Copies of this chain bind each other. A is one copy, B any other.
């Protein structure tokens, strides 16, 4: 059951000095149930199915709080909208230019790239914080010349 997980996250939030409200609890629950990336909009919609009063701006503010505490990460998927997910499942996103599909790949796929960049430029990449654009297997197969 996911409510145990939700309570743990809520507890962490409280330990960091943030107040626990029903809106925040609902956003966290939505993230737990989502088990993947969701936009702020999608999260708001999900939360509002139980608590219609919770406003989109509250969702944004809650997500910001959760990011500051380190419980949530967000990624930009190329075209403006950001997706949010719980930080304890670090992964990267591959976004298909053709069909918009989002593929999640484990964090360690990028280990060698991280290593290369650190050695060549002293640059440490930030895990779980960028999306890679390209073309997915399906779109590569059905690909014409455009």
Task: Give the contacts of A88-114 with B (CB-CB under 8 A).
Answer: 94, 96-97, 103, 105, 109-110, 112-113
| CB-based nearest B residue for A138 | B122
How many copies of this protein are present in the complex? 2
Contact A126 B137 (CB under 8 A): no
Contact A133 B123 (CB under 8 A): no
The 8 Å CB contact of A117, one of B78, B105, B123, is B105
Q: Which residues of B contact A137 (CB under 8 A)?
A: 121-123
The 8 Å CB contact of A134, one of B78, B80, B116, B123, is B123
Task: Give the contacts of A66-89 with B (CB-CB under 8 A).
Answer: 76, 78-80
SS class, residues of chain A in contact with chain B: mixed
Q: Which residues of B contact A96 (CB under 8 A)?
A: 123
Q: Which residues of B contact A3 (CB under 8 A)?
A: none
Asked whether A130 is an interface residue with its Cβ less than 8 Å from the other chain, the reply is: yes
Known: A109-B116, A110-B113, A117-B109. A135 touches B130 (CB 8 A): no
Asked whether A131 is an interface residue with its Cβ less than 8 Å from the other chain, the reply is: yes
The 8 Å CB contact of A125, one of B78, B80, B123, B132, is B132
Contact B122 A140 (CB under 8 A): yes
Interface residues of A (CB under 8 A from B): 76, 78-80, 94, 96-97, 103, 105, 109-110, 112-113, 116-117, 120-126, 129-137, 140
